[in-house]
Amino acid sequence: MPWPILSHTLSEERRTKIMIKRIFTALWVLVICFGPAAAYAEALTPQQVTQFIASMPDLTALGEKHDDGKKRKIDPARPLTSSLDSMGRQSAAYADLAQLASRHGFTGAEQLADVGDRVMSAYMIARDGLSLDEVKAGYQRGVDNVNKDPKLDDRQKKAILGGMNKSHQRYLAARQAAEKDLPAVQPHMAELGKLFE
């Protein structure tokens, strides 16, 4: 997502507040989407991406079949893997998911969940279309705006900048982990866009 360009008609103070809010929102969305990055041994293959896309209608139907209305703690950085972790290996949902995974060419439910999470992460990075330099420049603009804000005292600035830095570092690590999967995901952006948005 491109960094916002603010209107020149706004006061400097108002622009700073809007910029800080947008930066926090953007960084929070990126952390939610990517979370702590895992170091994957091998890149996704085009076949794995195709298999995952083909499995999505069945995954959706399976989710509806086993939806008992209970809230579960799902890690937004690993939605499929954490959903799998929460269901228990002896459950009917797990058995159905294992069968679904096998039908779509995966070695098991775990591989299907891992591939799905990685496809989603790579898709989000590819969709944003930002170069690493643009990400770093946007982060630096945010830091500069916080440091220049006369309404913030040193304690507030330190707290804000600390949070921004943690989010920025998580995003960079997640991006690095997902970049090897981009070549397999990028040819399928239109299909994935219909599935994820």
What residues make up the domain containing 137? 47-64+76-196
Please, what is the average pLDDT of the chain?
80
Asked if residue 46 has pLDDT above 70, the reply is yes
Res. 18: pLDDT tops 70: no
Residue of 13 and 121 predicted with greater confidence? 121
Domain count of the fold of the chain: 1
Asked whether residue 154 is domain-assigned, the answer is: yes
- In this prediction, residue 90 carries a pLDDT of 79
Residue 6 within a domain? no
Per-residue three-class SS string for the chain? CCCCCCCCCCCHHHHHHHHHHHHHHHHHHHHHHHCCCCCCCCCCCHHHHHHHHHHHHHHHHHHHHCCCCCCCCCCCCCHHHHHHHHHCCCCHHHHHHHHHHHHCCCCCHHHHHHHHHHHHHHHHHHHHCCCHHHHHHHHHHHHHHHHHCCCCCHHHHHHHHHHHHHHHHHHHHHHHHHHCCHHHHHHHHHHHHHHHC
pLDDT band, very low/low/confident/very high, at 41 (cuts 50, 70, 90): low
pTM, full prediction: 0.69
Q: pLDDT tens, 75-130?
A: 877 888 888 888 878 788 889 999 999 999 999 999 999 999 999 989 988 888 88
Q: Does residue 144 fall inside a structural domain?
A: yes
| Residue 80 belongs to a domain | yes
Answer yes or no: is 180 within a domain: yes
Residue at 41 is within a domain: no
Whether residue 184 is contained in a domain is answered as yes
In a domain? residue 106: yes
